[in-house]
Amino acid sequence: MIMKNRRFINFLALTTIIAGGILITSCDGGNNPPITEEDAFSFSISVEGEGSVNLYHDGVEVTNDNYKDIVNPGDQISARMSATSGYKIGRVDFNGTALPFNNGVSSFELVEGKNEFSVSFVRILTESKDFTYDLRDDGVYVTAYNCSTSVIPNPVEIPDTVTIDGTEHDVIGIADYTFKNTNVSAISFGKNICTFEVNAFDSASELSRIEVSEENTHFASKDGIVYSKDFTTLYKAPAQTRLSTVDIADETTTIADYAFHRATNVTRINVSENLTTIGDYAFYLANGLRNIDLENAKVTSIGRNAFKNCNSLTSLDLGDYLTEVGEYAFSQCGVRSFTIPGTLKHIATRVFYETRDCTSVVIEEGVESCGNEAFQSVNMSKLVLPSTFREIGDNAFYLCNSLVDLTLNEGLLTIGDGGFHNCVQLTNVNIPSTVSYIGKSAFSRSILLGRDNFTVDPNNPIYYVEDNVLYQKDADNGITLHTYFYNRSGEEFVIPEGVTNIRQGSFVEVYALTTLTLPKSLKSIETMAIESLGSVTLNYAGTVKEFRQVTLTTNWCYNTTISNNSQVTCSDGVYTIS
């Protein structure tokens, strides 16, 4: 028979007598058999406090269904008792005599007549001395907890006041890591707690519930989760909350920073239309989260790292109100497709960084730009930029290895350094007439480009493609060789006269190229302009003296062997590069 969470029973009043059997009674009544005065053998149990009691006879559990058949006077009964968390076994009695118990086990022999068995479970109270305190300018904070008893209270109650140097102070705050490396399963805020630091409950590996005194004017709790008193802000769900589904209060407009950080048991979050803000790291490392529907909410702001590493979250509707998303907000999460609403003008740095499970990105009209590494390593196969788009950040689509179909919009102004670097499946690119800046290595290592599949709008005043090589017209009337595409055919290439500069990342891993002739007009070669080509023969159309005037930036020829003992063959002789 299991007796759980029941208060003390007056067994003299509730004892039920049944001939030849045993009955375990409790204060909640039940369908008990009728009682007669003539019954000579009875048994009752009373439980005070919170815990469970199981009774056995000859290894068989005694229950309401079988006690008539297996229990008689003279039988040996074994009682196994287990206190609820925060309680311990206080006293075990049989017929008014205390019984010894060891590791929660006690035994006794049934007698003729009445048999009265009682167990008291004693609640463990929090000792103020188990906390350490810090007196600060704004009041006293608890800073550490070290339980002095063998059983940890449940909940651990933060005291309202503490006396320091003879003066009583209100305890108003909980410092970072107060419960670090403790086995505390529940915490109760005192009435004076008005603040707790963001990492106050970090590394409390067993914490599943936080309660708040009704007298507290700053905080309230619902389902063991801490809210502001008016429930407009959800502050903290314990990392080990037992809830799999969390129904956030209807009044809640804000999910605070770190609110569900590492809450791995939570699989579903239900929000109301009133939600507007999701804070920094709000669901960071909430690896069990599978569903949170923002479609009907009015979320305007999602903080940095908000859903980072939410590996189980495979779908997410961002709604129609979003205006701000912090960096890394969806980095390395499991979402497979995103539709970015036009209300979000700028996609911040690394928002979708290494979200490798994502295969579809739709950017709606109204979005204007994306920051550095915004979509790095996202496995989308198609990208269409809306007509409102103006700026692509550095390495924004770097290592998007599945990107095949790219449509750049008329109106686009800039493509940052490394913008589409290493997009190894990219097959067709057309640069619009409005593009005024293409960064270094923007299309380097995009290995399928270079066979008439990279074009520039003829109305573009700055960029043009000639013989599958991208050039840039400079302000001083010079010309920069921007990109020699990986897939361009031919073992030899003669750079046209008029080119004055070779841009960083111009020749990268174009292994088929073995001979490169530099023009007499050349004035400079940038760092790592020629990179990882193997062995290359370099020729120069001018004289040795003229070649000495060319600015060769440090590492201009990187990880590449210049044949003939690092010699450049000029029109009048050989120049050896030192």
pLDDT for 63 equals 78
Secondary structure (H, E, C), 405-434:
EEECCCCCCEECCCCCCCCCCCCEEEECCC
Terminal-residue alpha carbon distance, the chain: 92
Sign of the dihedral defined by the CA atoms of residues 17, 21, 22, 23, in that order: negative
Nearest C-alpha neighbor of 118 from the set 10, 40, 35, 19: 10
pLDDT score of 39: 53
Model pLDDT, residue 44: 82
Structure tokens, 207:
């914490």
Distance (Å, rounded) from C-alpha 492 to C-alpha 503?
19
Q: And the tokens for 485?
A: 């595409």
Interatomic CA distance for residues 576 and 120, integer angstroms: 95
**Rounded Cα–Cα distance for residues 291 and 244 (Å):** 11
Q: Which residues contact 59 (CB under 8 A, 6 or more apart)?
A: none
Q: What is the pLDDT of residues 116-138, one digit of tens each?
A: 999 999 999 999 999 999 999 98
For residues 52 and 89, what is the distance between their CA atoms, to the nearest angstrom? 10
The distance of Cα 45 from the centroid of its chain, to the nearest Å, equals 50
CB atoms within 10 A of CB 69: 10
3-state helix/strand/coil string of 175-204: CCCCCCCCCCCEEEECCCCCEECCCCCCCC
- How many angstroms separate the Cα of 200 from the Cα of each of 95, 129, 190, 231, 238? 49, 19, 15, 20, 11
| DSSP per position, 54-121 | EEEETTEEP-TTTHHHH--TT-EEEEEEEEPTTEEEEEEEETTEE---BTTEEEEE--SEEEEEEEEE
Alpha carbons within 13 A on the beta-carbon side of 517 = 14
In this prediction, the residues of the chain whose per-residue pLDDT falls under 70 are: 1-39, 64
Residue type for position 189 = F
Q: Which residues of 438-447 are buried (b: 16+ CB within 10 A; e: fewer)?
A: bbbbbbbbbb
DSSP H stretches of helix in 424-559 = 544-547
Quick one: which of 82, 14, 1, 20 has its CA closest to 44? 14
What is the helix (H) or strand (E) element at residue 137, kind and residue range? none
